[in-house]
Amino acid sequence: MRIDAHFHLWEYNREDYGWMEDGYMAIAHDMLPSQLEPELRAAQIDLSVAVQARQTLRETEWLLQTASRSRHKIVVVGWVDLCSPDVARQIECYCADPALKGVRHFLSLEPDDSFMLRADFRRGLEAVAARNLSFDLLVFPRQLAAAAQLVEQLPELRFVLDHLGNPDIANDQQQPWADDLRRLAQYPNVWCKVSGLLTIAPWNRWTPNLFAPYLDAAFDAFGEDRLLFGSDWPVCTCSGTYGDTVALVENYLAQRAPSALSKVMGLNAATAYQIDISGLE
């Protein structure tokens, strides 16, 4: 049983995805499940987690509808307005679809690093926890300290850190990222995705050895029970292939205990996102 815990889908338009003009024009077109299915079959992926790429309620609705029509099994990390007084009703509405497993907010784009500690944002996360959903932490290294404060305040909520917290691999900046990652990992309600690495590194000029110290730090912090594989498709294709993302993680895990492979490549994602895998094993 293998799970890709992080990929994206969209019907491209310039208004919603203007960020692609900053070097990502290669993926500035529709990205649908049918385009990814050959890669998933080749990598023997049984289920995938589609993660929001726009901060609109229409995005969540579209992802859930697309997942329901896909031949490949898909669950969804969507978006709701966590600062809205209406957030509980929004969550209640989308939870009618069992494919919704979590929500995410672009904390990395908030100019105030303490935004996540606001009282209204925390109330939104409390509503997420009340519905047994998870929350994906999309942050930069400078925000990891605030993320640790947030996690400490909400022990009942499952957090999933995206992309190892986006370390500056391109400039080989391991500190203070590694220390802050270790502090965040002290909280047992946090998981960490081994995802997005190809686009953090120098595009198309990386080697597997470049990632070793970052993977070591993540493994030492979270262990084999709280790391999840994610491809970050189609963004990863700007710097490699889907197969590259799989091989990078699998080859690294080959150096670890045999149990690490099945956990990181599937079982841990099922735990973090509360996915029923009884029909997949």
pLDDT tens-place string over residues 20-63: 988 899 999 999 999 999 999 999 999 999 999 999 999 999 99
Please give the pLDDT value at position 19. Answer: 84
Please give the pLDDT value at position 96. Answer: 94
Kindly tell me if the per-residue pLDDT of 6 is higher than 70.
yes
pLDDT category at 280 given cuts 50, 70, 90 is low
Is residue 92 within 8 A of residue 266, CB to CB? The reply is no
Q: What are the tokens at 171?
A: 């400039």
Please give the pLDDT value at position 169. Answer: 96
Please give the pLDDT value at position 22. Answer: 83
Please give the pLDDT value at position 281. Answer: 56
* CA distances to 12, 32, 50, 53 from 16, in Å: 8, 16, 17, 9
Average pLDDT, the chain: 96
**pLDDT-above-90 percentage for the chain:** 95
Calculate the CA dihedral of residues 173, 175, 176, 180 and round it to 10 degrees. Answer: 100
Q: What are the tokens at 103?
A: 């929500």
| pLDDT (tens digit per residue) in 127-137 | 999 999 999 99
Q: Pairing relation of β-strands 47-51 and 73-78?
A: parallel
| pLDDT (tens digit per residue) in 79-104 | 999 999 999 999 999 999 999 999 99
Buried b / exposed e across 134-162, counting CB within 10 Å, b at 16+?
Answer: bbbbbbbbebbbbbbebbeebeebbbbbb
Average pLDDT for 226-248: 98
CA 191 to CA 198: how far, in whole Å? 20
Structural domains in the chain, sorted by start: 3-272 (3.20.20.140)
Number of H-type helices and E-type strands within the chain: 11, 8
Average pLDDT for 190-196: 98
Residue among 107, 268, 132, 126 nearest 193 (CA): 268
Please calculate the CA angle 89-6-195 and round it to the nearest 5 degrees.
135
Average pLDDT for 133-154: 98
Residue 40, classified by CB atoms within 10 Å of its CB into exposed (0-12), middle (13-18) or buried (19+), is buried
Rg (CA), the chain: 17
Kindly tell me if the per-residue pLDDT of 143 is higher than 80.
yes
* Model pTM score: 0.97
Cβ partners under 8 Å of residue 114, min gap 6: 146
